[in-house]
Amino acid sequence: MQLGRPPVSDAYGWGNEYGTLEVNVPPFLATTTLVSNADYARFVADGGYRRPELWTKAGWASLGGATHPRFWVPEAGGGFSYRAQFDVRPLPRAWPAEVNGHEAAAYARWAGARLPTEQEWAALAADAPTHDADVIGVAGYNLNLRHGSSVPVDHGVATPLGFHDVHGNVWQWLADDFAPLPGFRAHPLYPDFSLPYFDDQHATLRGGSWATTGTGASRYYRLWFRRHFAQHAGFRLAREA
C-alpha cells in the first residue's frame, strides 16, 4: 500500500499530499457505511455525553455542557430536529452523523471500536472507482456540491468490497495526528500551508465532503483540523481483525 500523490500528475497537488509512504496494512475490520444519525442517536440516548470514561481528557473538557451534536436541535417533546444549511428539519436519520473528532472517538469507544488510521482509509479507498487516477468527475460521489447536502450513508458509490462514501458525503475523522509523509518538502511559495499543523493537536481527515470542490475533492487531498472543530465531518468504525 502506498500513500502520497505521484511526483508528476495532471492535476494540481497541495504540498502535504507529496511524499511517499510504503506500508503493509495489517488485516482489519471496518463498517461498510459511515455512522449515521440513527446510529449516533443511540449513543446520545445511552448517556454518551455524560460518561467521561468514553472521552479523552481534552474531549471531555471541550464539551462545555453539550449533550448532543452541534447541529441537532432538541424538541420540546423529546427527540431532535436538524439544523440544515437553510432550515431546521426533522432529523435525517439516514444521513451521516456530522460530529467533531472528540465526539467520533467517544462514540467509537462506546461501540467497542476505534477510528480507522489513514493507512486503513487508504486501503479502503485503493479500489474505489476514480477518473484519471482522481475522483473529480466520477458520477455518484457526493462531492462538488452535487446534492447541496449530505445524503444517506448507503446512497453513494461503493467500492467492489461494498464500502460506501470512501470519497464524499462528509470528511472522515481518522485516528492519526496530522503528520507529513516521508519525503515531504514545504513549497517555497506557501511554506505555511500545512507545516505549522504537523502536531498532536490536529487530526487527519480524508475523503472530502459534499461541500468539497476542485482539487480538495482529489483522492490524494489530506485535510487537518483540531478535534473540537465542526467540519462537515463524520466517521466510520474500525477494529483489528
Contact 93, 213 (CB under 8 A): no
pLDDT in tens, 19-60: 999 989 999 999 999 999 999 999 999 999 999 999 999 999
- Domain ranges, ordered by start, for the chain: 2-67+95-240
pLDDT value of residue 131: 82
Does residue 204 or residue 9 have the better pLDDT?
Answer: 204
Residue 62: which pLDDT band, with cuts at 50, 70 and 90?
very high
- C-alpha span between 68 and 63 (Å, rounded): 9
Residue 190: what pLDDT? 87
pLDDT in tens, 91-130: 999 999 999 999 999 999 999 999 999 999 999 999 999 8
Q: Is the pLDDT of residue 169 over 90?
A: yes
Q: Is the pLDDT of residue 132 over 80?
A: no
Cell triple for 186: 514545504
Query: What pLDDT was estimated at residue 133?
Result: 75
**Per-residue pLDDT, 77:** 87
C-alpha span between 44 and 41 (Å, rounded): 5
The model's pTM: 0.95
Q: What is the pLDDT of residues 69-86, one digit of tens each?
A: 999 999 998 899 999 989
Question: What confidence score (pLDDT) does residue 137 get?
Answer: 79
Share of the chain above pLDDT 90, in %: 83
Architecture of domain 2-67+95-240: Alpha-Beta Complex (3.90)
**How does the average pLDDT of the chain come out, rounded?**
94
pLDDT higher than threshold 80 for residue 61: yes
Which of 121-125, 170-174, 190-194 is the least confident region?
A: 190-194
